[in-house]
Amino acid sequence: MPQIKVKIYRFDPSKDTEGTLREYTVDVADGARVLHVLHAVHEQDPDLAYRYCCGTGQCGSCALQVNGVPVLACFHEATDGMVLRPLNLPVQKDLVVDMGPALASIASLVPGPGRDLPRKREIDAIKPLRSCIECLACVSICPAMEVAEFTGPTAMRQEMRLALDPRDTRDRIPQAIQEGLFTCTTCQYCWKVCPKDIQIPGKAIEKLRAIANRQGLTLPRHQEIAQIIRETGRSVPRTQPTFLEQVGGTIEPYGEVKATVGFFVGCMYNLRLPRTALDALEVLRRNGVRLIIPPEQICCGSPLIRTGQVAAIPEIQEKNIRAFVSRGVDTVLTMCAGCGSTLKNDYRTPFRVVDINELLCSIGIEMPDILPVRAAYHDPCHLLRGQGIRDQPRQILGTVVNEVVELPVKCCGAGGGTRSGMPQVSHALAGKKAEEISKTGVDVVVTSCPFCEFHIREHSDRPVQNITSILLEGYRAKDARCSKEN
């Protein structure tokens, strides 16, 4: 029988002004889950407050944080040294939180006089939204809720569920907008912590925004961006020579060819940060990547999908797919986290899509010189959660800086149309990110998404660099050292 050490947050509002972590050692069976550990601790310390009911992942009452991540205690395997805290909601005692306000915000069916039962296709559409067990894991981590009046992910899930139900008579859209529909940054964190795998951003938030669009309720700034895309094929106006004007066709690597890929540059790197895309190009050439760059590629459509303006999406997708297929490309490389996530998750491409971090790690990079800097790595939501890419950028960064410092994994506020449509929410989130960065005392923040790069740079007192730019700096330092030595 293994012994497990566990630290548990203890807080009694009748006695304590703040919570503390208390350590326990318990004997549990192999494969024990967190709830087994809590039962064992409770035998030693009957004063510990925690909530549970079904023990089978059906009631949602045992949700808590294990090492900072919300999980169901009855499902999650216990590990030695784990730290248990309550969900990030008002604490009533120890691990028990006040679920009342969030549960009260979940809308209910408003039945009309007719008794139209949902048809099969409506039932199928409702299905992915109805398995919520009201554990509030999603609510406890939603960054938008921390800075704005927003009823949160599961309330939006329920609004969309009811919008699909023919028995419901209420127009759900004005209510959803009032409840903060456009404050969501589509960071996807709610989906990733949901024990029922409910894809709230894609299946609820973006769908509600699409209905709002059909009702003429899209935010004016989002409509302006759609207009720019219609007119130019790009989501931002041209202010300088673009990457695609400077580079095109087939670009050969400097040495042996290790991979041949199509290069999807994305609007932000093409028009706002072409220098960064040129840095990436240099890194790729140096590492044996042949690039095929079709000049007719356009915006991936992400700004439209995230804001519910989806009418033009099939045409956009077709144009981009054709640009690469016509050149016989079987792999397309993205360096923008948002474009990569969109191509991987919102398109059905006949080619493989890889992110630049993924590609570089899979072919193995030339070692750069180590720069004398401490760098914090910021996880872009659309890279970490949209594409599941966590380790590769850290691996690359670890080759070129003295120290990689971890930041709390939190959205910077740039995504989901929030930066353009709800700037106050977006700025508040970036302000929090800037504070976290400042606390680390790092020399530089490194990331791998042009939106994060742009947005954090505007708010932080530290310089912000793209991962390929800092890698290139390491290569240049190496070149300078070698030429001195020769």
Question: Would you count residue 280 as binding ligand SF4 (CB under 6 A)?
Answer: no
Structural tokens at position 65 = 């944080």
Helix or strand (DSSP H, E) at 397: helix 391-398
Judged by CB under 6 A, the residue of 65, 151, 186, 466 near ligand SF4 is 186
Q: Which residues contact 472 (CB under 8 A, 6 or more apart)?
A: 279, 282, 283
Residue whose C-alpha is closest to residue 254's, from 279, 281, 293:
281
Q: Which residue has the tokens 């790197």?
A: 269
Considering only 127-135, 252-260, 265-273, 295-303, which stretch makes contact with ligand SF4 by CB under 6 A? 127-135
Judged by CB under 6 A, the residue of 40, 190, 470, 471 near ligand SF4 is 190
Work out how close the CB of 203 gets to ligand SF4 at its nearest, in angstroms, rounded to a whole number.
11
Considering only 128-136, 301-309, 454-462, 468-476, which stretch makes contact with ligand SF4 by CB under 6 A? 128-136
Question: Would you count residue 194 as binding ligand SF4 (CB under 6 A)?
Answer: yes
CA gap 98, 140 in Å, rounded: 11
CA gap 340, 344 in Å, rounded: 6
What percentage of the chain's residues is helix, strand, coil (to nearest 5)? 45, 15, 40
Cβ 31 vs Cβ 77: under 8 Å: yes
Q: Which residue lies nearer to ligand SF4 by CB, 423 or 441?
A: 423
CA gap 68, 453 in Å, rounded: 25
Question: Would you count residue 451 as binding ligand SF4 (CB under 6 A)?
Answer: no
CA gap 329, 291 in Å, rounded: 10
Q: Which residue lies nearer to ligand SF4 by CB, 277 or 429?
A: 429
**Which residues inside 327-366 make contact with ligand SF4, applying CB under 6 A?**
none
Judged by CB under 6 A, the residue of 135, 225, 226, 244 near ligand SF4 is 135
Question: Would you count residue 428 as binding ligand SF4 (CB under 6 A)?
Answer: no
Residue whose C-alpha is closest to residue 451's, from 413, 406, 409, 397:
413
Q: Which residue lies nearer to ligand SF4 by CB, 196 or 285?
A: 196
CA gap 440, 315 in Å, rounded: 45
Work out how close the CB of 180 gets to ligand SF4 at its nearest, in angstroms, rounded to a whole number.
9
Question: Would you count residue 198 as binding ligand SF4 (CB under 6 A)?
Answer: yes
Work out how close the CB of 56 gets to ligand SF4 at its nearest, in angstroms, rounded to a whole number.
14
What is the sign, positive or negative, of the torsion defined by CA atoms of 482, 483, 485, 486? positive
Q: Which residue lies nearer to ligand SF4 by CB, 164 or 365?
A: 164
Structural tokens at position 128 = 């992915």
Question: Would you count residue 177 as binding ligand SF4 (CB under 6 A)?
Answer: no
CA gap 393, 383 in Å, rounded: 10
Work out how close the CB of 120 gets to ligand SF4 at its nearest, in angstroms, rounded to a whole number.
24
Q: Which residue lies nearer to ligand SF4 by CB, 142 or 336?
A: 142
Residue whose C-alpha is closest to residue 50's, from 100, 95, 8, 97:
95
Judged by CB under 6 A, the residue of 6, 66, 136, 283 near ligand SF4 is 136
CB-side neighbour CA atoms (13 Å) of 295: 9
**Which residues inside 137-166 make contact with ligand SF4, applying CB under 6 A?**
137-138, 142-144, 153-154, 157
Tell how far CA 170 is from the center of its chain.
31
Strands 249-251, 289-293: pairing kind: antiparallel
Judged by CB under 6 A, the residue of 49, 57, 122, 134 near ligand SF4 is 134
Judged by CB under 6 A, the residue of 86, 201, 262, 340 near ligand SF4 is 201
Q: Which residue lies nearer to ligand SF4 by CB, 242 or 387?
A: 387
**Which residues inside 53-82 make contact with ligand SF4, applying CB under 6 A?**
60
Work out how close the CB of 176 gets to ligand SF4 at its nearest, in angstroms, rounded to a whole number.
12
Q: Which residue lies nearer to ligand SF4 by CB, 187 or 464?
A: 187
Question: Would you count residue 446 as binding ligand SF4 (CB under 6 A)?
Answer: no
Instruction: Please give the size of the binding site for ligand SF4, defined by CB under 6 A.
Output: 29
Q: What are the distances in angstroms from CA 420 to CA 225, 228, 238, 258?
A: 9, 13, 17, 40
Work out how close the CB of 215 gets to ligand SF4 at its nearest, in angstroms, rounded to a whole number.
21
Q: Which residue lies nearer to ligand SF4 by CB, 24 or 150?
A: 150
CA gap 72, 87 in Å, rounded: 11
Considering only 29-37, 114-122, 169-177, 188-196, which stretch makes contact with ligand SF4 by CB under 6 A? 188-196
Cβ 451 vs Cβ 269: under 8 Å: no
Query: Where would I find the beta strands (DSSP E) of 284-340?
Result: 289-293, 331-334
Helices and strands (H and E) in the chain: how many:
24, 16
Judged by CB under 6 A, the residue of 37, 41, 177, 184 near ligand SF4 is 184
In the complex, the residues that contact ligand SF4 under the rule CB under 6 A are 60, 132-138, 142-144, 153-154, 157, 184-190, 193-196, 198, 200-201, 205
